[in-house]
Amino acid sequence: MIEPHAFQLFDTQTLLYDLGCHYLTPAMSQDEVTRVLRERQVPFDVAICSVGTFGMSDLDLAELVYAENKVRHLILLSDGQVPAPALLACQVQHPAQPLLGIVQKPLRANTLLALFRRVLGEGLSCAARTLQAAGASCPA
């Protein structure tokens, strides 16, 4: 999770933890992202970050995340901004580094589950049952 604002980082961590994602690696600065990716031995399944994080363009942010080949998928969180066409064009040229989704803030559990299912398949059944038990619905 890449988020420079502590309160938003906490909210996202809490939501992910509630969904059963217990192995989280937060990064609050560009240097921290670079360090974490360099030191990581195996790729992360998903990186989650906000559009415009660290004042970077979306394309530069995606390139930073994918630079070390340690992230399989990227989810961008948007507060209404639309990613630049250059980012979308880059995704077409490099399908091995897919942009899993662009999600409107505030982040919702159902939306994350739908995106995670695209990557992890039925491995999310436990998290989905937990969410449903809490009264939320899960998209197929």
Of 59, 62, 4, the C-alpha closest to 31 is 4
pTM of the model: 0.76
Lowest mean pLDDT among 15-19, 38-42, 95-99: 95-99
> Do 89 and 63 form a contact (C-beta atoms < 8 A)?
no
CB atoms < 10 A from the CB of 102, how many? 17
Q: Which of 32-46, 47-61, 83-97 has the lowest mean pLDDT?
A: 83-97
Q: How many CA atoms lie within 13 A of 92 on its CB side?
A: 5
Predicted confidence (pLDDT) per residue in 82-126, tens digit: 655 556 556 555 556 677 778 888 888 988 888 888 777 655 544
Confidence band of 55 (pLDDT split at 50, 70, 90): confident
13 is written with which tokens?
């961590």
Q: How far is CA 104 from CA 37, 63, 70, 82, in A?
A: 26, 21, 25, 10
Average pLDDT, the chain: 77
Query: Which two three-digit tokens encode residue 73?
Result: 């998928």
Q: Output the six-digit token pair for 27.
A: 């990064």
High-pLDDT (> 70) share of the chain, %: 74
DSSP 3-state of 138:
coil
Which residues does 56 contact at the CB level (< 8 Å), separation at least 6?
30, 64
Instruction: Kindly indicate whether the domain formed by 6-133 is annotated with CATH number 3.40.50.2300.
Output: yes
Number of C-beta neighbours around residue 83 at 10 A: 20
Which of the 8 DSSP states describes residue 81? P
Q: What are the boundaries of each domain within the chain? A: 6-133
Element (H, E) at 75: strand 71-78
